[in-house]
Structure 1
Amino acid sequence: MTSAGGPPPTGARDDGDEVDPLPRSRAGAALFRLGRARRDVLAAVLRRRGWTYAVLPYPGYGVDGSARVLARVVLAAPGREPSTVRGVAGWRRLVTLQRSRVAVEVSAAGQDTVHEVRSGPGGFVDAVLPWSFAPGERTVTFRVGDRDPVEAPVHVADPEARTGIVCDVDDTALVTGLEHPLGAAWRTMSRAFALRAPVEGMADLLVAAHAEHGSDHSPVVYLSTGPWNFNGPLARFLDRHGFPAGPLLLTHWGPSDAGVFRDGRAHKRRSLQRLRADFPGVRWLLVGDDGENDPEVYADFAREHPQHVLAVALRQVGPRAAATAGDAAVGTVDGTRVPEVRGTDGHRLLRGLRAAVPSDPA
């Protein structure tokens, strides 16, 4: 498994400041610097008032002697544990003061070594640690400063697993309505995730596909262009509605060195390539919807790496779905022999997948 962690560059300050990226986009770089300066001033004020670093732990994954651990470091008021916050509107979760260059201790039951990692840009901790876990759900513990430790699961795959699932979230697992952007934004920002609705039949699709094509510890990963701030409530949403357990690979909203807005398509492409490298023997069922960029991203990956794709399953959304509300359409990804199934809900997609891909493929 390749590592995305590592020590800070030589000379970097250990005070939460972020290293300025090489400015490939003038607008993105200017907004990045402005946001960094604002956060630094606010952080200095809050630190004088007793605020300290806290960790938001996220589910990770592991396989074959290593574990990828994920978290984020933010500033929090004394006596307030941000990872325990529940039932708030989405916009409130976006109001965080993330801090980079912060030392975090990571430990795990049954592992002798306690690792020290440092948060990177955006406050993210994304590190691969050389731990050997038995397959199944394991627990890692994060500690920063004098704060109480917080825990996160690590979903450890069977090294012999040959199939896995990658699933989009918005309009695939969770009803968002991205074909109507203003309405989707309002639902995301104004409602707690406990009030949101799952897409019909998608949990059944993933559970059945996991049972019919995988094993007890085959990898399941949720891949979305949503912000990391929503990781906790999304994980609880998926669990509450019966989706298989697995980590969420989300992204950071806001300006970067590459532009004013983050490129969701690029995030998904990079994540799929990372999963291919981390699980070289796995063929993936790629589940998404046709409302945004999933068809293009999945098709490109299938053409580049057909040996790593079991099938593509796309939920149809918007006006096109109303005109094709019958059984799923079964075909192949253009330019490949990779099966592709399209349908309006998880139940139709499951019937199509069963027609297109036999159980226990060789």
Structure 2
Amino acid sequence: MSSTEHRDPRETGGAVDPAPVSRLGAALFRLGRARRDVLAAFLRRRGWSFAVLPYPGYGTPGQVRVLARVVLAAPGREPSDVRGVAAWRRLVTLQRSRVDVEVGTDGGQTTSTVRSGPGGLVDAVLPWSLPPGTHPVRFRVGDRPEVGATVHVADPGAGAGIVCDIDDTALLTGLKHPLSAAWRTLTRAFAQRAPVEGVADLLAAVHGAHGEHAPVVYLSNGPWNFAEPLTRFLDRHGFPPGPLLLTDWGPSPEGFFRDGRTHKRRSLQRLRAQFPAVRWVLVGDDGEADPVVYGDFAREHPGAVEAVVLRQVGADVGPGTAREAPAEVVGGSVPVVRGPDGHVLLRRYRAATSGDGGDRPPRLSP
């Protein structure tokens, strides 16, 4: 069949052929990149220069993953200095790829040069030997002042680690109602946002049970533009410190929208490879794709998952419903616990992972 021949919908189960949508997304991506290149050239002539937005990274005692973003900024202004502004203003940035950035440990004992990739993202694994703990790192580009971030070096032998979603898991967003969620996200400063009840206590308890240097990672489909205020939000509300793994919004070379499920699946596989001895507690909510993504990962790698913990989203879910919800098991051995808030989830997580045969959920088919 030729590429232009009409395909009977019955041959594809009535599904819409994704190829035209993907081609449109790729075309929009190229158009946007060309527009940004023209604007960047104009601003560079007016004195704008490259600047770095630093993000927390993570690693093991043999290597670290550093994360940052290169953008254009006006003379005398640092893009990381903006605080207390509506989130939409953070989306108005001009990212630049193929820019060399110097990154080093505090004091300059160890330095490396990395290059920004698509979307201006700096994402590099460096062979640095740092002990477990939180370490400062510095980024510099051109004549701009250095800017700082941290890398969270975990104990690769920790018994368990945490992967936690953000929207409607740590931060109240209301993604089940997209228009109101978008309005709330784009018009309110993160300092005015509210955490999900009890989830910080849940994560702190799980983290504390597995050691000071157990890895904690916040995995979200939100844009990298929100990394800095999200990091402050999590710290302000008592969440354990850890890096954020975010993504970009808008068209990509592969399609009209970036695939959030693919982003989370790839991130989980990468964490499994980097921490092969760690069993992960996967924390999310049932408002979007977390049950599917976490469930698939647990079925594929049951030995790498200690539990799946899902907050139940929706006004129709109350504490009584959570207490009566049947226990589940995926992958033959991984317990799945559900509840409306962190306090209920912590109680059910402890019961499901206590090792007491009477408290563990019944085994269901994987």
1:152 equivalent in alignment to 2:156: no
* Aligned mate of 2:72, from 54, 58, 75: 75
SS in 2 for 1:285: strand
Structure 1 CA distance for aligned equivalents of residues 324 and 57 of structure 2: 33
**Structure 1 residues 349, 269: CA separation in 2 closer, same or farther (over 3 Å shift)?**
same
Matching residue within 86, 91, 94 for 1:89: 86
Distance 2:354 2:329 in 1: 17
For residue 141 of structure 1, the aligned residue among 114, 138, 147 is: 138
Q: TM-score, normalised by structure 2?
A: 0.89
- Mean CA deviation greater in 194-203 or 328-337: 328-337
Q: 1:328, 1:266 → 2: CA distance?
A: 33
Query: What is the aligned-residue identity percentage?
Result: 72
Contact 1:302–1:333 under 8 Å retained in 2:
no
Write the letter of the residue equivalent to 1:157: A
Instruction: Measure how far apart 1:161 and its partner are.
Output: 1.1
- What corresponds to 2:230 in structure 1? 234
Q: 1:326 Cα shift?
A: 4.3
The Cα shift of 1:351 comes to 0.4
For CA contacts below 8 A with separation 6 or more, give which structure has more relative contact order: 1
Q: How many residues align?
A: 337
Q: Which has the larger radius of gyration?
A: 2
Question: How far apart, CA to CA, are the structure 1 residues paired with 2:270 and 2:177?
Answer: 31
Task: Report the TM-score, using the length of structure 1 for normalisation.
Answer: 0.90
Q: Indicate yes or no: 2:330 matched with 1:340.
A: no
Distance 1:43 1:333 in 2: 52
Q: Does 1:317 align with 2:313?
A: yes
Q: Is the 8 A contact 1:324 1:344 kept in 2?
A: no
1:266 CA displacement: 0.6
- Report the Cα distance in structure 1 between the residues aligned to 2:225 and 2:107, rounded to whole angstroms: 30
Aligned pair partner of 1:225 in 207, 212, 221: 221
Q: Which amino acid is 1:188 matched to?
A: T
Q: Tell me by how many angstroms 1:159 deviates.
A: 2.7
Letter in 1 for 2:215: P
CA RMSD of aligned residues (A): 1.7
Please say if residues 328 and 348 of structure 1, whose CA atoms lie closer than 8 Å, have aligned partners that are also in contact.
Answer: no
Q: Deviations over 1:227-278 (max 9, x none)?
A: 0000000000000000000000000111111111111011000000010011
What 5-or-longer segments of structure 2 have no aligned partner?
1-19, 357-366
CA distance in 1, matches of 2:295, 2:320: 21
Q: Does 1:56 align with 2:33?
A: no
Deviations 1:24-57 (A, max 9, x none): 9311111011101110111011101100000000
Structure 2 partner of 1:191: 188
Aligned-partner Cα distance in 1 for 2:318–2:208: 30
8 Å CA contact retained: 2:21, 2:256: no
Counterpart selection for 2:32 from 30, 35, 49:
35
- Residues 40 and 72 of structure 2 are in contact (CA less than 8 Å); yes or no, is this contact kept in structure 1? yes
Give, as a single letter, the amino acid of the residue that structure 2 aligns with 1:333. V
2:197 paired with 1:209: no
2:99 maps to a residue whose letter is V
Unmatched 5+ residue regions in structure 1? 1-22
